[in-house]
Each structure stands twice: as structure tokens, then as C-alpha cells.
Structure 1
Amino acid sequence: MVEVSQEELKTGGSIEVLEDDFGSSPNVFIIAVSGGSASGKTSVCSRIFSDLGDKRVVVIDSDSFYKTPVLSEGQTIADYNFDHPNSVDFDLLYSVLHSLKNGKGVTIPSYCFKKHMRLPTGRYISPASIVIVEGIFVLFHPKIRHLVNMSIFVDTDDDIRLIRRIRRDTVERGREIDDILVQYEKMVKPSYDEYIYPTRRYADIVIPHYPNEVAVDLVVQHLRNKLRMDDLRKIYSNFHLIPSNCQIRQMHSIIRNKNTSGIDFVFWADRLIRLVVENALGHLQFEYQTIETPIGELYDGVQCNYKDKLCAVSIVRGGESMEIGLSAVCKDIPIGKILLEFQNPDTELDARFDKPNIIYCKLPEDIKSRNVFILDPILSNGFGVYSAIKFLLSKGVLQRKIIVLSLIIAPNAIHRICKEFPEATLITTEIDKNVNSDGFVVPGLGCFADRYFGTD
């Protein structure tokens, strides 16, 4: 079950947004795991941490950010509501997450539930690729949600949560059962209904009826893919993965679905292709210019005269399926074609390993003076693009002027292209796991050209 929210929960507090919020490190992935008290949040975090099995993941418990209670005259600790948002130091939590987001180590406080106070010594957290923060209010404040890349809500039945809370608080926190029940009825349950459960709407992923191993497995697999993507981007500065969002994930969900009709496949594939083209245009050289607006004001902008400086080369036949999306963005762009033949075209298995020969090409006459977009939607081992780049270099095209546009790519292709051609640029929207024995990327979408042109 996946839910995506577009609303914001209004809160009474406010937190100043630090100036470099939007310049934070793209390699730090923050996950917020929320849910009611004793819903299984800690178990989910422990499972994620254990399954990833490396030191690039840190887990932060938001319980560490409780404020030391300030009691009024006649008030006891039993009267203090730890299940109200005002009990959490959101300013400090925001500051810690912001620092980790920017790749900086931090010291987080330690809170003692037996003494009900912060301890004088904290715990140092080193920078990590993935930061997991868990707690009942981690999705409550908008500024905290602003820093989070993935949000999870663990949705567990009330009676199960109550049983777990009794077990936990008696064993770990030395409390009496009667005190636990009074607090639950007076504070925990009302707070859950009013403040915590409404934040479920902000969760990207809702894990129902925990323990739910299938849902957690999906989260872990997504994070494994995330770590692999970051590793590749750290190795190759010329590799660009377009930042994923729900819109891009929806497009992939549609074009990868075997039951998607041909008409829908073409429509959504063209949309995704246009996003790749727009991203590729951003890698061209722009010139500053000042223009005058209709109200007589000046605007400092940029321009790129790509008509005389840009062309595309389709690798037949898959690359031809990207031409409509390209032309929708770059009107009247010259498009050349390259047709490849593998050394053993009758054997698909051998074709995965054999480097292809170019048996036909038609290129713009002035191609060596232009930037070149190479079009190939699915890259498995990258031999086709590899051969095309070699051929273009022999025709005088500068390596730094070559940009490869793809939709899905396997890791082998990234290594082959980016390592051999460090000045060329490779752009894609998703990295798949590997290539199967039939030469298809996994999980992939089958033969892109056949589905696009209706020949499957």
C-alpha cells in the first residue's frame, strides 16, 4: 500500500529554514519511520539496518530529543504529557538532520526515561549514506518532512500496540502496569488520534498490520538500489541519474507493466523521453542575455541556440522510438541513424557479448561541429552505444560534445560507457539490477522498440 500526500499538517510552532537546505548532499538519503507507540517502528528500523548489512546506515531514535520536563507547582511527572508534540525539541531534531543531510557528523542527546531528563553526555553520529529517524512525531512538523526523502508509517491495531507498550514499559522503563494504563487512556490514545494518525497521510509507504515482511522487503530492496546508484555516481562524474519522484515512478510503473496497452505505452514513454531530453539540454552551453518584459522591466536570463549546434543520432531500432519525444522538445533538430549488426545475429545469447559492427549510417554533414545526442532507450551491456561513440569519434566529433540519452540502464553499461569515454555524458532515469540470459535488463520492460512500434 503506497500513499502520497500533497497537504501539510499545520502546527503551532515554527522552525527557521537554514539557508543551504536546497544545497544539501544528494548522496544522503533520510528515511522517517513513524507510527503509534509500540507499533513496531524500532523493529522495522532494525530489520532495514540488519538486511543492508553495512556501516553506511545510521538509526536515530527521536525519543532522544524529548525536552527535560518543566513541572509546575503541584505537578508530578505522571501529569506530564510525553505524547504531545510540545514535548519534542523539533529545533534540535531539525538541526541534527540538516547537518547529516549535508554530510556532517553530529552529537545527539541521550534521554533517560527513568530519571526523565537529558543526560549530560550525548552520542556522536558519523555521516552516512542512509539515515533512519524513527519516532511518533517524525512526520508531524513540516520542516522535518522537508528534509526527508522517504517516509514510512507503521500502522498497527490499537490493542496490539497497547500489549506491546505494557511489555516494553514494565521491562525497559521500570513502570507499573496501572500507571501505564492510566497514561494510555489519558494521553497516549488521545494524542494518537489527534496528532499521530493524521500524519499517516504524509507517508510514502504505509506498512499495515506489522509484522509485514513483504512490505519491509520492498523497502530494503529500494534502499539497496539507492546505495548502488550512489556508488555509481560517485565513481563516474559523467553519469547523471535524473532525480526520481512519484511522477517518474508512475511513468515507469506504466511502461514496465506487461498489461499496458500499446497506446498507453507510447503516450507515457514519450512523456518520459521528453523529461530526459529536457535534462540533456541543460548540459549544453548557454549564454547570458538580458531581455525586456512586456511591462518594460529587464530580466537577466540565458539562451541556447541549439538549432545550429545540436543534432541527434538514433541507434536503430530502439533509438528511433525516442525521436518523437525529442522532436517535441527540439523542433527541426537534425537526426542521423546508425544500424548495428552483432557478429552472431542469429544467437541472442552470443549477441549480448559480441561487439556489433556498423552496417549503415546516415549522419548530418557538419556533425563534427555539433553537440550530439545519442538515442537508445534501454542499455543492457552498452555495446551498441560504445560502438556508436567510437564511430562518431572517428568522424571528428569531440567526446565532450556527446550526450547519451536513455531511459533504463544496467550497471554493466554504465561502467563500459563512462569508463571508456570519461568526457562524454550519460543520462538515464533508472538503473536496473542486471541483465538476464536473454539479454534483457531486469526487471526491465521487455523489448522497448517492439512495444513502442506495436510489433511485439
Structure 2
Amino acid sequence: MLVIGIAGGSGSGKTTVAQAIVSKLGDENVALISQDSYYKNFTHLPFEERKDINYDHPDSVDNQLLLNHLDQLRRGQAIEVPIYDFSQHARTCKTTHVPVKPVVVIEGILILSDRALREQMDIKVFVDTDPDVRILRRVMRDINERGRSLESVYDQYLTTVKPMHEAFVEPSKRYSDLIIPEGGHNEIAIDLLTSLLERYMSAGAKNPLQ
């Protein structure tokens, strides 16, 4: 099993790159996991307290559960990925069944900031996109998909998203094997990455970068 980590700032295009890999290689070959699904379970806290948690800090993510799930997949066992409700800032009681596949893609802003996670990755990718583009994408996503108000998105960006990006996300770029400028719009970089993965699947190489 080959594990690919795709990091980058919020709104950088990580999900677009990950979905492009799935599209080119086929969903029968790729399991896509979002680190957003692994926010810690704060359902014991009132909503007003949950919404004020700094979800852009590494401490908000249950990386141990993600590591356990990667270990299960390597041992040939399917996993149940949590489903997170962003409008309620809490996990739901439902999960997503993820079977074992030749390639696992993990995408998230903080996946390269955690050493234990990095050590589980065969290829580490950082999606590098202009900050103005990222914030505009985040505004649209959080309002349209996550039920947030413009004011709440604005406040969150200034108080947590921007400072946490500078403290944890941007510095993690140095751990990447590949940097993809402009995210999903960079078709050449995506084609290069998927060609490497196709070589892995066809030849059974341990790591296509070697």
C-alpha cells in the first residue's frame, strides 16, 4: 500500500488535487481520506464552547486515530472514518466505510506538521496557492457548504486560520517531496504525480520516487 499526503493552506486546492488523483487512477485503486474527518470529538462540550475551539491548531485533530486507521489498512483491514458535522462542530454518530486499496491519499492542512504522520507517508505533497485566492475559496466554502456566516468566517480567519497557517502549515512545506503551485489548476504537476503512481501500481515498486 502506498500512502500519499497532500498538505497546504485552507482553500489551496488540496481536495481538488486529491480528487484528480482518484479520477485518473480510478476509485477502485485509491482510498481518499480527509484529515477534517478526524477532528477530536468535543460533543461533551456545549455548542458555544465548541465553536470557539481553535480548529486550525494541531491539538484539535485526533491524529492517533488516523494513525491507527492507517495501521489497520496496512494490515489489510477496512476502516470506519468518522463523519464530522461542521455546522455543529461535532462528530456525528455515523461513519464512512473505507476498504483496503493499493493507494491511500490523505489530505489536510496539518498532515505534514505531525512527525508520526509524515513517517507513514511514502510521498509528501504541498499545494502552494496565493493567500488571496485561498481566503476567497474558504469564504465561499464555509458559507455554502458549512453553514457559516460571513462574519464568523472573517473572525475565524483573523484569529486562528491566518496565525496557525503561519505557525504550522507554511513551515511544514519543507517536509514535502513535491510542491504543486496553484493546486488543481496545475495539470502538468498532477499528470506527473499520477504517472508516478501508475508506475507504482504497474511495477509494484515500493516507492515511485526511488
Q: Deviations over 1:307-327 (max 9, x none)?
A: xxxxxxxxxxxxxxxxxxxxx
Q: Which residue of 2 aligns with 1:218?
A: 192
Q: Which residue of 2 aligns with 1:178?
A: 151
Q: Deviations over 1:384-421 (max 9, x none)?
A: xxxxxxxxxxxxxxxxxxxxxxxxxxxxxxxxxxxxxx
> Which one of 101, 114, 133 corresponds to residue 141 of structure 1?
114
Q: Which residue of 1 aligns with 2:90?
A: 117
Conserved? CA contact 1:71–1:77, under 8 Å: no
**Measured at CA, do residues 67 and 169 of structure 1 come closer, stay the same or move farther in structure 2, by a change above 3 Å?**
same
Within a 5 Å distance, the mapping from 1:43-192 to structure 2 comes to 43-69=16-42, 76-192=49-165
CA distance, structure 2, for counterparts of residue 244 and residue 114 of structure 1 = 39
CA distance, structure 1, for counterparts of residue 32 and residue 195 of structure 2 = 18
Within a 5 Å distance, the mapping from 1:40-439 to structure 2 comes to 40-69=13-42, 76-210=49-183, 211-230=185-204, 243-244=206-207, 249=210
Q: Which secondary structure does the structure 1 equivalent of 2:73 belong to?
A: helix
Determine which structure has greater relative contact order: mean sequence separation of CA pairs < 8 Å that are 6+ residues apart, divided by chain length.
Answer: 2
Q: Which secondary structure does the structure 1 equivalent of 2:12 belong to?
A: coil
Note the C-alpha offset of 1:209. 2.4
Conserved? CA contact 2:122–2:207, under 8 Å: no
- TM-score, normalising length from structure 1? 0.44
Structure 1 stretches of 5 or more lacking a match? 1-27, 231-240, 250-456
Q: Deviations over 1:309-346 (max 9, x none)?
A: xxxxxxxxxxxxxxxxxxxxxxxxxxxxxxxxxxxxxx
Within a 5 Å distance, the mapping from 1:6-17 to structure 2 comes to none
Identity %: 36
CA distance, structure 1, for counterparts of residue 86 and residue 118 of structure 2 = 26
Q: Which secondary structure does the structure 1 equivalent of 2:32 belong to?
A: strand
Query: Computing the radius of gyration over CA atoms, which structure comes out larger, 1 or 2?
Result: 1
**Measured at CA, do residues 87 and 127 of structure 1 come closer, stay the same or move farther in structure 2, by a change above 3 Å?**
same
Q: Deviations over 1:341-386 (max 9, x none)?
A: xxxxxxxxxxxxxxxxxxxxxxxxxxxxxxxxxxxxxxxxxxxxxx
Paired letter, 1:41: K
CA distance, structure 1, for counterparts of residue 101 and residue 66 of structure 2 = 17
Paired letter, 1:55: E
Conserved? CA contact 1:140–1:196, under 8 Å: yes
CA distance, structure 2, for counterparts of residue 159 and residue 42 of structure 1 = 18
Q: How many residues in Structure 1 have an aligned counterpart in Structure 2?
A: 209
Conserved? CA contact 2:18–2:107, under 8 Å: yes
CA distance, structure 1, for counterparts of residue 201 and residue 182 of structure 2 = 28
Structure 2 stretches of 5 or more lacking a match? none
Q: Deviations over 1:246-280 (max 9, x none)?
A: 6xx5xxxxxxxxxxxxxxxxxxxxxxxxxxxxxxx
CA distance, structure 2, for counterparts of residue 76 and residue 144 of structure 1 = 28
CA distance, structure 1, for counterparts of residue 140 and residue 43 of structure 2 = 28
Conserved? CA contact 1:29–1:101, under 8 Å: no
- TM-score, normalising length from structure 2? 0.93
Q: Deviations over 1:22-77 (max 9, x none)?
A: xxxxxx00000000111100000011100112501110011110012378799634
CA distance, structure 1, for counterparts of residue 99 and residue 16 of structure 2 = 22
More displaced stretch, 184-193 vs 105-114? 105-114
Q: Which secondary structure does the structure 1 equivalent of 2:93 belong to?
A: coil
CA distance, structure 1, for counterparts of residue 21 and residue 34 of structure 2 = 14
Paired letter, 1:136: I
Task: Provide the alpha-carbon RMSD of the alignment.
Answer: 2.0
CA distance, structure 1, for counterparts of residue 92 and residue 139 of structure 2 = 25
Conserved? CA contact 1:62–1:133, under 8 Å: yes
CA distance, structure 2, for counterparts of residue 74 and residue 212 of structure 1 = 39
